[in-house]
Structure 1
Amino acid sequence: MPINYLKKIQLGEFNEEAYTISPSIEIESVIEGFYVFSRETNKDTHLVFNDGFPVLVFLQSCEDTIAVTEENNAFEIKAAWASAGSIKNVYVKYNNNTDQIFIVRFYPSAFYQLFGLDAQYFRNSPIIPFEYIAKDSNFSIEEFFGYNLIEEKIAFVETYVQNSFMKTGIPKTLQNTLDYIHKIKGNSTVQNVSNNAGVNYKWLERSFVKNIGLLPKEYIQLQRFIHAYLELVGSEKVDLMRIAISNGYYDSNHFLKDFKAYTGKTPLEYLKFQL
């Protein structure tokens, strides 16, 4: 999702222009949350990032579009998009007067099960038009946009999930491992995570790839980066070494390498871009 909205979710920065609605008890194992954001009108272009939770992002109208720019590609998406996996150097630009963004944030294994997708589906294309998935999973985008109120749209999504999802879950050890990685904000190594879980690396790798669609190392990197990013953009004085070390990077060069990979810019270039 656009990282400016993910930032609000991570920090709990909610108000009347950025708010969350919890899913009903029946589907809380599938959907992490519903989010509504008023578009930031001072800037049309935003970095896209995924912290491990797949999302569906709906524009205000089925006729609204965004332009997606990747490192070596550019394309347009209409109405809604899905994103998951490790997203690097991808930006979206709003082409219409969309005033409001509606985001559905899923637990990864449940998301892939719900839409009948292999967990590696987003490996090479981490952001795609949602219509590619919807047409094969009986989700009517046209019917969704027939509702005007957020409450009606949420009810539509919840009904779809209740009618379509066959609960299977993920291994308890894997869930405990994910919880541990989130708790320590990715500030660890794969070996330490494996030791904490009491499993060997091969089991951990197979479980992550099958259920999450990412390698353990990739998932840890996402958590470590988003927290380093939040510290960077929230700092009055930029101290790259301090930010790097406090978030588990070996040094500032390691952080710079990750930052350039995810954003396509150096930290200082990105901060200027945000102004």
Structure 2
Amino acid sequence: MGTIDHLTVSDLFFKSEHILGAYVFSCKDLQSSQPLFNDGLPTLIFMPEKTNVVHLKKADVEIKLNAAWVCCGVIENTYWQLPEDLPYIIVLRFKPSSFYEIFNVEPAFFLTRPYCSLSEIMSNRWIQIIDQLYQKETISDQFELLKETLSTYTVIENRPYLLQAALEKIDYNKGNITVSELIHDLGGKVNRKWLQRSFVKYIGISPKKYISLQRFIFMFGHCQNKSQKEIIDNTFLSGYYDYNHFLKEFKQYIGVSPTKYNWE
């Protein structure tokens, strides 16, 4: 794959009508074993070299993915075994409606398979694009190819307005909101069954699980370099009923308790 050239790692490099954000993340300071989870939205990851292999481990099960891979939906107790010399990864966060149409895949596909190699879902056209991508000399050239390719797709946004409003309220509150509160904030214009059906159809996960993911991601980001007391205090501010509620979700997503997790 290309060199980093003049770009600064971890910056946002572009958005489009299909992309919420395209990034380059440095991996040089990461531990060899990293918890893998995302916010539920479709995310495409490119390793630096086409020959790279991704090694994931869930409990005692080992999973191998190709250099271009996808994660989407709910990821639990899964660790990414990073190669020691991995310099960076490219990450593309998609708008769900665009991703599912561009790659012609149903959201339900990720209910039981929250990560897979891109080759499992891509068309012949994308096989050629990925080959071209890994022939580019710089990341700038790779992003230009991706932007050019994505610009050829026209996706009609068919996501209901009230569903978009629900997503924005959840994100604004960083997951510190219940489904009942969400329905109330939407002015009572939707009911629980409609919200459940719409989230599963357009996003691929339930509203309760999506809320849980956003709340956990926000809280996880605030746990580093915090004392046990600070973590406990933050659980209430983040919308957890108590510390045990957070502890349960931490074990669910990460596989161990916060006190046993390596925060370095």
TM over 0.5, yes or no?
yes
Find the aligned partners of 1:53 and 1:200 in 2 and give their Cα distance. 23
| TM alignment of 1:157-236, pairs within 5 A | 157-197=146-186, 198-236=189-227
Same amino acid, percent of matched pairs: 31
Tell me the matched-pair count.
255
Structure 1 gap ranges (5+): 1-14
Shift in Å at residue 68 of structure 1? Answer: 0.7
Asked if the contact 2:97/2:157 (under 8 Å) is kept, the reply is: no
Change over 3 Å in CA distance of 1:216–1:137 after alignment to 2: farther
| TM alignment of 1:76-115, pairs within 5 A | 76-95=64-83, 97-115=85-103
Change over 3 Å in CA distance of 1:165–1:269 after alignment to 2: farther
Report which structure shows greater RCO (CA 8 Å, sep ≥6). Answer: 2
Change over 3 Å in CA distance of 1:244–1:104 after alignment to 2: same
Shift in Å at residue 139 of structure 1? Answer: 4.3
Amino acid at match of 1:170: R
Counterpart of 1:21 in structure 2 is 13
SS at match of 1:68: strand
Find the aligned partners of 1:136 and 1:217 in 2 and give their Cα distance. 36
| TM alignment of 1:56-135, pairs within 5 A | 56-95=44-83, 97-135=85-123
Q: C-alpha deviations, 1:184-229, integer Å up to 9, x for none?
A: 1111111111122221111111110111001000000001111111
Structure 2 gap ranges (5+): 1-6
Asked if the contact 2:32/2:84 (under 8 Å) is kept, the reply is: no
Change over 3 Å in CA distance of 1:266–1:102 after alignment to 2: same
Q: C-alpha deviations, 1:154-192, integer Å up to 9, x for none?
A: 122122222234323411111111000001111111111
Find the aligned partners of 1:226 and 1:61 in 2 and give their Cα distance. 29
Amino acid at match of 1:232: C
Find the aligned partners of 1:97 and 1:135 in 2 and give their Cα distance. 31
Amino acid at match of 1:152: D
Q: TM-score, normalised by structure 2?
A: 0.90
Asked if the contact 1:139/1:160 (under 8 Å) is kept, the reply is: no
Change over 3 Å in CA distance of 1:120–1:42 after alignment to 2: closer
Out of 36, 51, 56, the residue aligned to residue 48 of structure 1 is 36
Q: TM-score, normalised by structure 1?
A: 0.86
Amino acid at match of 1:164: Y
Shift in Å at residue 110 of structure 1? Answer: 2.0
Asked if the contact 1:18/1:35 (under 8 Å) is kept, the reply is: yes
Amino acid at match of 1:62: K
Instruction: Name whichever of 132-141 and 152-161 sits farther off.
Output: 132-141
Find the aligned partners of 1:17 and 1:33 in 2 and give their Cα distance. 14
Instruction: Name whichever of 237-246 and 43-52 sits farther off.
Output: 237-246
- Superposed CA RMSD in Å reads 1.9
